[in-house]
Structure 1
Amino acid sequence: MNGLAAHEVTVAYGRQTVLDRASIHIGPGETVGLRGPSGCGKSTLVRVLALLHRPDDGHVSIDGNPVTGARYRVAAAVRTRIGVLFQSPRSAADPRLSLADIIAEPLRATKAERIQDRVVELAYTAGLTTDLLRRQPHAVSDGQLQRACLARALAHRPDYLLCDEATTMLDASTQAHVAAVITDHQHRHGTGVLLITHDPALMHRWAHRVIDWPPDQAAPATAVEHADHH
């Protein structure tokens, strides 16, 4: 089955089980909303789906193909199919780098061609002016830094984009711009999007279906879905 999926994934930190046989599926071109209280494992699920954290049990698949390992133990052609945008751009960006270098990171990691041209193109798409590209994170606003992180997340034109409270720290106009950029990318490339947010209005406007998290532990492979179709 096409899509990005977690299958019966379990993750524990020490004695605390954060995910217990959790499953979820994001299809190509659809936006799946995920809502639940803080501390219920949503961010850990994102890290597992993004291939940044290997689960203790279960696995992730992309378009039906199981993926083993995490980070650089996964082939570049596989891991670059998934982009992720975190809540805090300050935590997600190296404070020593310029915005241009932050955007260029995934391109350099895969030895892409025409990196400088691609950085300018991505910055423009994300709403960053060229003068901002020379600045380091401390010299820009949270909104500007999150736009750079968005540009970085889209660098490889991912098939799946994971948004973990990505608009929480932004003002209304920047929220709208980030959502518009992601929606445009989704329409152009058929990208599947996982949207985690506590904003019910954003969830209602954007998500094709919404899952309440954590799922019923009596039926761990099935989450509760709602008819929020658009």
Structure 2
Amino acid sequence: MLELRSITAGYDRRAPVVRDVSLSLAPGESVGLLGPSGCGKSTLARVAALLHRPDAGRVVVDGETARGWRHRAPRELRTAFGVVFQQPRLSADPRLTLTALIAEPLRATGRGNEAAATVPDLAARVGLGPDLLGRRPHEVSDGQLQRACLARALVLRPRWLICDEMTAMLDASTTAALVHVVEEYRAEHDAGLLAVGHDRVLLERWCDRTTHWDDLVTPFAA
């Protein structure tokens, strides 16, 4: 179980973006978090993935409270999460080929020797042909780069997927293809999914349940 308990978070303690929000996600469950741009849902997603330390509250993974964030989190927790962000060009090192981009988490965890066997199959799964793998981000489209970013998120076989507006910049066919890859992966590995977005139709078709941001937040006192 992934639990966010009474999370308050932001970038200035005097004006938190997220205030006293709780959300839970069971293994194998897909939860959609729906809300307008700028409401704080991306900040909450980063907290859920242990990428942003909250000002208050707890992240609990399988009954254990997370006590480290980003690179200070224990490796078994860091590798339990796969994250796909909205803007692939901001989350991809422009110097890396797509092969190296997908293999990045393997190298970071000392498993770089697995890349040759893992990356080609995973790239094919997300719809990237061999002719694209030697290219760098500026040589491919946004959709192709987001496919590589999804493959990177899956390469360590995470138990939890956080997709933060993953398809917001994509056309309908690429959106459908990437959602299909995520669902195949979830079915195989019983992974939980937190899908953040502002497209109600997509989230309600994709997820087991959808929660609106307004139903989570505690109103500020007047």
Asked if TM exceeds 0.5, the reply is: yes
Does residue 207 in structure 1 map to residue 185 in structure 2? Answer: no
Q: Which of 6, 13, 17 is residue 11 of structure 2 equivalent to?
A: 13
**Counterpart in 2 of 1:91?**
90
Native 8 Å contact 2:5 2:23 kept in 1:
yes
Superposed, 1:71-150 pairs within 5 Å as: 71-112=70-111, 113-150=113-150
Identity %: 51
| Structure 2: gaps spanning 5 or more residues | none
Native 8 Å contact 2:94 2:136 kept in 1:
yes
RMSD: 1.5
TM-score (norm 1): 0.91
Does residue 162 in structure 1 map to residue 162 in structure 2? Answer: yes
Moved over 4 A (4+): 216-220
Cα displacement string for residues 80-114 of structure 1 (whole angstroms, at most 9, x for unaligned residues)? 11111111101111111111111011000111142
Cα displacement string for residues 30-56 of structure 1 (whole angstroms, at most 9, x for unaligned residues)? 110111121111000011011111111
TM-score (norm 2): 0.94
| Structure 1: gaps spanning 5 or more residues | 221-230
CA distance in structure 1 between the partners assigned to 2:147 and 2:216 by the alignment: 36
Native 8 Å contact 2:21 2:216 kept in 1:
no
**Counterpart in 2 of 1:68?**
67
Give secondary structure in 2 for the equivalent of 1:106: helix
Residue type of the alignment partner of 1:43: S
CA distance in structure 2 between the partners assigned to 1:146 and 1:211 by the alignment: 25
CA distance in structure 1 between the partners assigned to 2:205 and 2:74 by the alignment: 35
Native 8 Å contact 1:22 1:215 kept in 2:
no
**Counterpart in 2 of 1:226?**
none
Native 8 Å contact 1:40 1:214 kept in 2:
no
Give secondary structure in 2 for the equivalent of 1:163: strand
CA distance in structure 1 between the partners assigned to 2:44 and 2:217 by the alignment: 16
Residue type of the alignment partner of 1:59: R
Offset of residue 197 of structure 1: 2.0
Offset of residue 12 of structure 1: 3.1
Give the number of equivalent residue pairs: 218
**Counterpart in 1 of 2:183?**
183
CA distance in structure 2 between the partners assigned to 1:12 and 1:92 by the alignment: 20
Give secondary structure in 1 for the equivalent of 2:156: coil
CA distance in structure 1 between the partners assigned to 2:66 and 2:134 by the alignment: 37
Give secondary structure in 1 for the equivalent of 2:133: helix
Give secondary structure in 2 for the equivalent of 1:13: coil
Give secondary structure in 2 for the equivalent of 1:8: strand
Offset of residue 204 of structure 1: 2.0
Q: Is 197-206 or 175-184 further displaced after alignment?
A: 197-206
Give secondary structure in 1 for the equivalent of 2:6: strand
Native 8 Å contact 1:41 1:214 kept in 2:
no
Native 8 Å contact 1:167 1:175 kept in 2:
yes
